[in-house]
Amino acid sequence: MTAMATPRPTPAPAAPARWRDPDRPAPCRLTVNGTDVVLEVPPRRTLADGLRDGGWTGVRLGCEHGVCGSCTVLLDDAPVRSCLMLAVQAEGRSVRTVEGLAGAAGLSPLQRAFHRAGAVQCGFCTPGFLMQATALLEREPDAAPERVRERLSANVCRCSGGTAALAAVRDAQRELGGGAR
C-alpha cells in the first residue's frame, strides 16, 4: 500500500458561544397569531420591538417601562406587557396580537363593541385594551363589572379614561352570552 500522508483531522465545529453577543441578531422561533415565525433579534430587543420589527405594529410603544399597557399582547392566552419581555423570552411560545383578532367573519365581537361604544378616540391604546379584554372574556366570560374594571385598570387611555372601553366590554359580554346577571 502506498504510504499516504495522514489526512489532517477536520477541526470540530466551534461549540456555540455560551454567551450571546448583545447586539447580534439571532433567530427566535415563536408562533404569532397562529403562524410559526422567526424573528431575527438581538437578546436585548424587547418582545414589543421584535413584534413591531416583524410587522405587527398594532403592538404599541407607550411608556416602554410597563405602566401604560399599550404594548399588551397575549402569551399563551394570558395578557402580558410585551415591553417587559425580551423577545428571546418568547421563544417557543404562542403570541397573539391585535392583528389576530379579526377573522374570516370580520372584526371580533369585542372589536365591534369598542366601535359601537365610541371607545376608540385616537386609537393608540385600543390594541392593548382589546388584548386585555379578549384574554379576560376568554377565561371569565361571566366576569362581574368590578372584575372587568380591575382588569382594564391595567391599561391607560389618555383620551377617554377608559370608561367607554368598560361599557364596550360589558356590551360584548352580553353579545357573547356571558356577563354577570
Binding site for another protein (CB under 8 A): 18-23, 43-46, 49, 64-66, 69, 72, 75, 78-81, 83-86, 88-89, 132, 150-151, 153-154
CB of 46 to another protein, least distance (A): 7
Select 29 or 44, whichever has its Cβ closest to another protein: 44
Closest CA to 28 of 39, 17, 37: 39
Residue 37 parent element (H or E) = strand 35-41
Select 46 or 108, whichever has its Cβ closest to another protein: 46
Residue at 153: amino acid letter: S
CA distances from 2 to 7, 9, 106 (A): 14, 20, 77
Could you give the CA distance from residue 51 to residue 127 in angstroms, rounded to a whole number? 14
CB of 7 to another protein, least distance (A): 36
CB of 135 to another protein, least distance (A): 9
CB of 89 to another protein, least distance (A): 6
Select 42 or 107, whichever has its Cβ closest to another protein: 42
- Main-chain phi, psi angles of 136, to 5 degrees: -65, -50
CB of 126 to another protein, least distance (A): 16
Select 85 or 125, whichever has its Cβ closest to another protein: 85
CA 134 remoteness from chain centre: 12
Residue 30 parent element (H or E) = strand 26-32
Select 39 or 83, whichever has its Cβ closest to another protein: 83
